[in-house]
Amino acid sequence: MSEQIAKVGDLELCYETFGDRDDPAFLLVMGLGTQMLGWHEEFCRQLADRGCFVIRYDNRDIGRSTHFKRHKPPTIKQLLVRDKSAAAYSLADMAQDGVGLLDALGIERAHVVGASMGGMIAQLMAVNHPDRVLSLTSIMSNTGHRWKGMPGLRIYPLFVRRPADNREGVIESTLSTFRAIGSPAYPFDEEELRRHAELSYERGYNPAGTARQLAAILTSGDRAQDLRRITAPTLVIHGTRDLMVRRSGGRATAKAIPGARLIEIEGMGHDLPPDLWDRIIGAIVSNAERADASVRRAEAA
């Protein structure tokens, strides 16, 4: 299915679906400054082949969804001190976007899968909208705690470097970023990543939106106490070599959510290597089946 636009409140969200509409819905939420293309098309198709109706979408302020151009991006100083006045919106607002997209598609409940910032958004969907989330999978994310899941020291320069202002500069910046944060045990395909970066640039390069999303993350606070209220069967996936969100973030997430299962993948960094898709998809589907079994038991009681 080609890309579609859904009206969600005052926003327009760009989305795409894979699979049979009659299958259980899986909403995929991507991370900071990353368009829905971060959920590779083949990853989505493989998930759909497992009997899933897959929905990927651009978060607000990225790609072809609404850009918040009326709000100035935060300054480096505002980000460093976590100035709440610099945040044009919150992670909770972004979680509401996901629920609004389900509304627009006429979907009552979905299995929600989030990566990095998308994991934070997915967590808040499960906290604030428990009746809409069948299961939760949080990948390479954290609880918002200041000292758990923090980046490795050599990653910090990525946050403060000046955004590239031309096509080739953007592409090279993407490549250098993934050289720093990618999976050491699973080297990425540079040509495929270059193609991905080119397409992302053409779809809607928006560094100001990335800065506004980062402000939403940094001003969101620690969610650990709220995560204790999650009732959806939860899976936490984290790489042992993640330098962007250190594995302590995944461990803290699994510890905070009652009954959560933690899978740590050796050699995985802050990306989704194709060699791991089968394992990750299998774990997501298994967690969803755990949720479906719980629903059937509740209906039979």
* Rounded-to-integer distance, Cα 91 and Cα 81, Å: 18
Catalytic residues: 116, 242, 270
Closest CA to 135 of 301, 297, 285: 285
Is the sign of the CA dihedral 294, 299, 300, 301 positive or negative? positive
Give the DSSP per-residue string, 218-248.
HTS---HHHHTT--S-EEEEEETT-SSS-HH
Cα distance between the two ends of the chain: 39
* Rounded-to-integer distance, Cα 242 and Cα 269, Å: 4
User: Would you say how long the chain is, in residues?
Assistant: 301
Q: Which residues contact 42 (CB under 8 A, 6 or more apart)?
A: 274, 277
Phi-psi region of 62 (alpha: psi -120 to 50; beta: other; left: phi over 0): beta
